[in-house]
Each structure stands twice: as C-alpha cells, then as structure tokens.
Amino acid sequence: MISGRAYAKRTDFDSVIIPDGVTEIGDGAFYGCRNLRSIEIPPSVNRIGDYAFCSCVSLESITLPPLIKSIGRETFKECVSLKSIEIPSGVTEIGESAFEDCTSLESVVMPSGVVSIGEKAFWKCRSLSCVELPDSIERMEGHAFYGCSSLKEINIPSGLTAIGESVFAECTALSSVEIPEGVTYIEWGAFGSCTSLKRISIPKSVTGGIGYGAFGGCYNLEEILIDPSSESYYMSEGCLLSRKDDTLVAACKSCITIPSGVKSIGMRAFMDRKDLTSIEIPEGVVSIDAGAFSGCENLREVKLPSSLKEIEPHAFSDCGLLESIEIPHGVSGWLYAFDNCTSLRDINIPSGVTNIGGFSGCTSLESIELPDSVTCIRDNAFDGCVKLKKMTIPPNVKEIRNYAFRGCTSLKSLAIPSGVNFIYAGTFEGCESLESLDIPKEVTGIWQFAFRGCKNLTYIKIPDGVTVISDAAFGDCASLESIEIPLKVTAIGWSTFRGCRNLKSVSIPSEVRSIGSEAFRDCESLSSIDLPSSLAFICDSAFSGCRSLKSIKMPQGVKSLAKRIFRGCVSLSEVELSPETKSIEEDAFRGCISLSRIEIPSGVKSIGKHAFSYCTALCSIDLPDSLRSIGKNAFLGCSSISRVSVSEKSGEKIIECIKDFFKDAEIVIRH
C-alpha cells in the first residue's frame, strides 16, 4: 500500500512506476505533485483513494487498473493536462468532483456497469466533447457536467429517473437533448444557460415536476417537444406550461406573447432573451417568479396586469433599457426585482409593499417614493444608485439592512425613523455627498463599514444608547472633525476611525477596554487624546500616522505596546508608558522624529525590531534591568543618541547588541 499523502506536494520527480503487488493508493498519495507527467499503476491495485492525484497539473495520461470499483472524491480534480481517460469495466461509481476542472479532458470512455456519477464529477471540463453515458446509470448528481462548454451532444441514460440540479447547466455547445421515457423529474437549472440548445424532447413520464429555471437562459430554444398524452405538461404558443398550476415553465424563441390562462411566469422562463423588446403580461397572471425576465437587456416596455399579486426577487434584473414600469396596486409583501436596471428612472411602489429592495445598480434612478406600508429596506436595496438624490424613509420602517444605500454618491441628507434600532453593515458606505444624518435615539448598534467613505460628513451625533461601534464604521470620513463616543461603548473596533484626516477631537468613554488595530490610523489632525484607565488592550497600528499627535499617556492596564502603534507620529514628543509595560513590539515608535526622550518602564522584557527606528530626536536611552531581548535594528537611524545605559543583568548578548547599535555613543553599563 502507498499510504495517504505519502508523496503529497513533491516536485522532485516527473514519473512514477508503482511496483506490482501494491493493492492500494491511499488518500492524497500524490496530491499536488505538480511536475508528475506519467504514472504506471500495476493491475494489482484495487483501490485509489480520494484526491489521490488531485492537482497533478502536469499529468497528461493515466491507465487505470482493472480491479478498482470506484473513482473517489476529487481523485483527478484539477489535473489540467489530462486529455483522456478510460474507466475500467468494474467501476460502478464516479465520485464527487472526481474530474472537476480537468480543463484539457477531451474524451471519457465509460463502461456499462457505472451506476452513479457524483456531484460536480466533470465540473467545468471545458474541452470535453465526447462522452457516452451507459444506460446502467441510475443517479447523476447535481452539477455533474456543469460548464462542459465543448459538449455538443449527450445521451441521457434510460436507467435514469431524475436529472439532477444544474447537471448540464452552461453546456453552451449542446444543441439538442432527448430525455428518455422513465425520467420523472427534471431538477432546478438542469439545462440552465445552454445557450446553443435548440431542441429538447420531454417524455410523458415527467410527472414529478420540472424544477425552477430548468431551461432558464436557453435563449436559442426553437422547439420543445412534449408527448401529447402527458398529463403534466403541454405546449401553447411556443411556451411549455404546467397543467397542475398553470405555470409558464419555459419559452421558445418564437414565444413573444404569453398565452391566456397562465397564472404564473416561472423562474427564469424568459431569462437572457435578447430579442425581447416588449412584453404584455395578460390578466390572470398572479405571480412573476424569480429571474423570470432577468438579463433581457433589450426589454424596453413591460405591461403588468391588475391581477398581479407577487413579483419575486430579480424578476427583471439586468434589463438595462427598461426606463419605467407601473406596479399594480395588488402587489404586496416583498419587492426585490429590478437590480441593475441601469436606465430605470420612474417606478411606483404600491401601498401593500412591506419589504423593499432590488434596486442596486439602478444608476439612473434619481428619486423614489416609498409607501408607509414599508417596514424593511433590504440588503443592498439601493446599492450603487449613484444619481439618487432624494429619499424619504417611511415612518414605519424598523430595519435598514446591510449596504442598503452603499455607493449612493449623490445622496446629501437622510432622516432615519425612530423605530430603527441598528445601523447595519455598510448601510451608508461610500455616500460621498452625505453631509448630515439624523440617527434616532433608539439606535443601539452601528455595525462595520456603516459610514465608511462618507467624505463630506462633517458631524454626526451618536445616540447615548449605542453600545457597539464596529469595525471601520467611520473609516475614511475625511471631513469629520469631532466625535463623541457614547458612555456605554466598551470597545472601539478595527479601523473604526481610520483615515478621518480632519478629526481633531474624540472623547473615549471610561468603560472602553480595547481599541482595535488601526482604529485611529492616519487621523492626521488629531493632536491629543485622553485614554481612559479602563483600557487593557490597544492593538496594532492603532494610532499609526497620527501626524499631529503630540503627547500620549498610556493607561496602567496596557501591558504591551503593540506593533506600529505610534509609527509615523511625527509630532509625538511626550510619551508616558504604563509602569506595567512588559514589551514594546516592532515598529512601535518608528519614525517618531520629534520624540526626544522616553522612559522605558522597569518591567519591560523585550523591545521588538525597528521599535524606535528613525527617532532622530532621541538623545539618550536608559534600558531597564528587566530587558532580555532586543530586536534587529530596534534603534536604526537614531542618529542623535549620544548615551545609552544598560544593565549587566540584561546579559552579555544584550550588551554586545547595544555596543553594535551605538558605536559612537557612550555606553554606560550598570552593575
């Protein structure tokens, strides 16, 4: 046996001959052997483990031994040079992702005994043009041949009862498919975006259903043949319809009129139809399912019926020429349907809508009126609406979700209703024109990136009830001059105020225990800051680049000066460290050119590399008895130091290091 990962990631050989008598190649045995070009496997091998040859990117050919019964999970995944494979007659199972991303694989010979093909088994084998599937196959899991863009024809095995989710999706060369009698169910997206598919035949045995978007994006479909005796589906005016619920499942190219009697336009039914310029949806239709008209990039006119009750997410997304649409009054609940409609300027929102979203990327939308029925503005609702200037948020809104107004660069002011309790992640990120914002007193949390990049925001009042200000919440608010942090806040997150270049004053409350990395980095106008005694942790680069900061007193609880904490603070001249300080990490004071003296506490055991590099005003330094290590170039470029005091207790190694650092300075060794 060759044990698991025995030769994994070895690059010192390009060929392997496995001796006769070996019965097993373990999991990952040759994983990542990037230079392996050929391998001889003896007929005695009866098992090849999972991912045994995964990522062998130079492997061009391999002969599999006759005794193996299965090809395991990821066995040949990412073997991008493998061109062909013949699967032995005894194999019954091809595992999950067995040949995933074998982008040079052109042909596969599959024996009649294969029963199952695992999920993503041949995922994105872009060169695969020929594969004969035996009728013995009973199971073909989701995405098995997804993205096999050279596959021009495929025979569906007669033993198959279901065609799995997205099994042949994005097989863009596939032109014709005949589904055999015996198949009862076609799963979601089975043939999605097969853009060359012109003809498909569906037997009467398909009674279990045709999943959402099974033929979505097949915009060249000319003919759907359905057995006239089918009790589940029928054709009308070029459209495939369900007898059960009158859903329009799929549409041929010829279908430009929706037949009467239809109650629902199915998921992705007209997806990517570039020929479609207008559509009138007849009375009686009550729902338009997700993605039904998405990607209809030339669709200019849509007429919706008064019977319509529901428009599902992304129903009209990426309809780039759609300028206006009137939503019937009966539509209620969620409305999340028009993302990336870049020409959309005019739309009405009915009074029954409670959840609004799906306008992200509507770059022509300047204003929109939301009804009082709206209680939630969903994730990314108006993300990237760069021309949106005016918005009144209805009084009943309780939630404004993540990135709802991100990138609304023309929005100048906004009032948030009193029912809102949180400002979620990235809600107003990149709103460069936002000058003022009223945050209600009910808000208790401001999440990460909430106001990052609001370059014109000069002032914001944070309510007293706020307990959390998360990472980068006000990062790059370059015009913000002052901020008062509420008393209940106990932590300041990563990059919370990073890049607030005009921030002159900030009040840190007495209960704050930690300041995150880069929290005040590049706050170039910040000249002073009072750190509360409650502080125990100040993380890396917290005040790096604060060019105007002149003095700092570290609280007693801070026992370590983190990496780059004051790097580049060129005005810093006075520093008082906590007597409890144990370490000064790398680059802590690097480039602090105004620092003329510093008292290093008696308990400091280590000084990191470049800790005081280029502190050109430092004249002398007294190193404590406790010092046991000093990093490389800790005092590089400290050209003004003329005297250094070091204790013999620090050891000979430290003393010699100091002598090397300061060849021209007076070295005082304390006894």
Write the pLDDT tens digit of every residue in 375-418.
999 999 999 999 999 889 999 999 999 999 999 999 998 899 99
Residue 248 CA to chain centroid, in angstroms? 33
What pLDDT is stored for residue 663 in this prediction? 81
What pLDDT is stored for residue 505 in this prediction? 87
Residue 176 CA to chain centroid, in angstroms? 36
- Quick: pLDDT tens for 65-95: 999 999 999 999 999 999 999 999 999 999 9
Neighbours of 229 (CB within 10 A): 7
- Quick: pLDDT tens for 146-177: 999 999 999 999 999 999 999 999 999 999 99
Cα 69 from Cα 389, distance rounded (Å): 65
Any idea which fold 1-151 has? Answer: 3.80.10
Average pLDDT over every residue of 541-557: 96
Contact 209, 188 (CB under 8 A): no
What pLDDT is stored for residue 436 in this prediction? 83
- The tokens describing 370, both together, are 């939301």
- Strand-pairing partners, residue 279, are 302
Tally helices (H) and strands (E) across the chain: 1, 52
Q: How confident is the model at residue 369 (pLDDT cuts 50, 70, 90)?
A: very high
pLDDT of 459 > 90? The answer is: no
Domain extents in the chain: 1-151, 412-549, 581-671
What pLDDT is stored for residue 578 in this prediction? 95
Distance of CA 49 to CAs 37, 54, 91, 176, Å?
Answer: 19, 10, 14, 36
* Identical topology for domains 1-151 and 412-549: yes
Residue 524 CA to chain centroid, in angstroms? 32
**What is the CATH code of the structural domain delimited by 581-671?**
3.80.10.10
Quote the CATH superfamily of domain 412-549.
Answer: Ribonuclease Inhibitor (3.80.10.10)
Percent of the chain with pLDDT over 90: 91
- The tokens describing 572, both together, are 């810093």
Please, is 51 exposed, middle or buried when counting C-beta atoms within 10 Å of its C-beta (0-12, 13-18, 19+)? buried
* Average pLDDT over the chain, rounded to an integer: 95
Cα 27 from Cα 46, distance rounded (Å): 13
Average pLDDT over every residue of 206-232: 94
Give rounded-to-5 percent helix, strand, coil for the chain.
0, 20, 75
Cα 110 from Cα 62, distance rounded (Å): 15
What pLDDT is stored for residue 34 in this prediction? 97
- Strand-pairing partners, residue 515, are 492, 538
Average pLDDT over every residue of 326-333: 94
pLDDT of 647 > 90? The answer is: no
- Quick: pLDDT tens for 578-591: 999 999 999 999 99
Model's pTM, two decimal places?
Answer: 0.86
Average pLDDT over every residue of 246-267: 94
Q: What are phi and psi of 442, to 5 degrees?
A: -75, -15
- Quick: pLDDT tens for 482-521: 999 999 999 999 999 999 999 998 989 999 999 999 999 9
Average pLDDT over every residue of 102-128: 96
What pLDDT is stored for residue 217 in this prediction? 95
